[in-house]
Amino acid sequence: MTRRCATAFVVSAVLLLSLGTGVAAAQSFEGAGGTIVVESDETYESVEGVAGSIVVRGTVTGDVSGVAGNVHVAEGGSVEGSIEAAAGTVRIDGIVGGDVDVGGGHVEVSETGRIGGDLNAGAGFLAVNGAVGGDVRAGAETIVIGPNANVGGEFRYDANEFSRDENATVAGGVVEDPNLAGNVGPTGEFFSVPPVLVSVYGFFVNLLLGAVLLAAFPAFSSSVAARVADDTVRSGGAGFLTLIAVPIALVFVAITLVGIPLAVVGAVVFGLLVWIGTVYGQYAVGAWALGLADVDNRWLALVVGLVGFALLGAIPVVGGLVGFVALLLGLGALALGLRDRYRSRREPRIGGRQATLDEVSSDARGPPVRGSEEGES
């Protein structure tokens, strides 16, 4: 149960950072988008997607399958088939004719929600306050059966905290079953993706990001790789401090109500920087390895680095450790590079151009001493 919830959260966070914004615009949707929306005046045959949000305000005559940050069947919305989803939040305010198989952090069937079939949920928090025609099988940290709940079958659960309103109706009775832990939630083929395919997908996504970075910022990317090779300890230390300090700073920012939006934006930006740092770290190690063979090719270094870490990632424990080291190196070199870039913009200018470090140092020392010049000559 806990592992399933954590997986749903991680997948959702990565999707929110990596996907753009898109809106479903066909009679059926299959693919990826930032937001997939079936509007109140629209009818779709089916929705199968990966997105930040999947929202059904209209009608889906078939099934809805997806991985998303948020899955919502709004009041007035209808899914005539079934729902199978992994998400941070799943909320049923409308009607689902078939089964609902979901894994998420927060799952709720509101008082206006109607599920014609079974509800199978693995969640951090589950609230049932609407109608479920069939059975409920649920594993969660907290489960709440509200006063408007009307379950036609059995309610079988496993939870650390459980409460049931006395006005709730459960026709088949309520049964606590400790064996449900980890065995509830989406189980269909959509979620049975072989690990090797996940690894291949991750490799190509990282390869695409790396190619964009090398093409858009060639000089900066080379400086990051050089910093990792020439100042490995400092880069790793800077990466470790960044990984610790930034989340703490974001927590302090979020303490105030005004700071919450800033903290949210900061968390998204930091997540993106961590991803970029990971790719940069692997690229830098690839460049270092090629340098040992006197080969200087940034594109080949990117491929060598990503392939090498992908292969190492298949080794238990070792793969995770070397991946973490690459993250620290890349994130540290990235942070130091951004710091240097910021400082360079604030350096004094000479004759309409930016002064070099040598010129600034010379000005700071003052004019040369005549005697020393004659002595040197």
Helix (H, G, I), strand (E, B) or coil at 361: helix
Q: In 3D, which of 334, 307, 323, 325 has the Cα closest to residue 207?
A: 307
Phi then psi for residue 375, to 5 deg, are -65, -35
pLDDT at 10: 39
Mind listing the pLDDT tens digit of every residue in the chain (377 residues)? 444 444 434 334 433 333 333 334 446 776 555 678 899 999 999 998 777 789 999 999 999 988 888 899 999 999 999 999 888 889 999 999 999 999 888 999 999 999 999 999 988 899 999 999 999 999 888 999 999 999 999 999 999 899 999 999 999 999 998 887 656 666 544 444 445 555 677 788 889 999 999 999 999 999 999 999 999 999 999 999 998 998 888 888 777 656 677 777 888 888 889 999 999 999 999 999 999 989 999 999 999 999 999 888 778 778 788 889 999 999 999 999 998 888 877 665 545 454 444 444 444 444 444 443 444 43
Round to whole Å and give the CA distance between 377 and 191.
78
Round to whole Å and give the CA distance between 77 and 94.
5
Strand ranges across the sheet with 43-44: 43-44, 59-60, 78-79, 95-96, 114-115, 131-132, 150-151, 169-170
The one-letter code for the residue type at 336 is: L
pLDDT at 2: 43
- Per-residue DSSP letters for 14-41? HHHHH-------SSSEEEEEEEEEE-TT
pLDDT at 256: 67
pLDDT at 197: 58
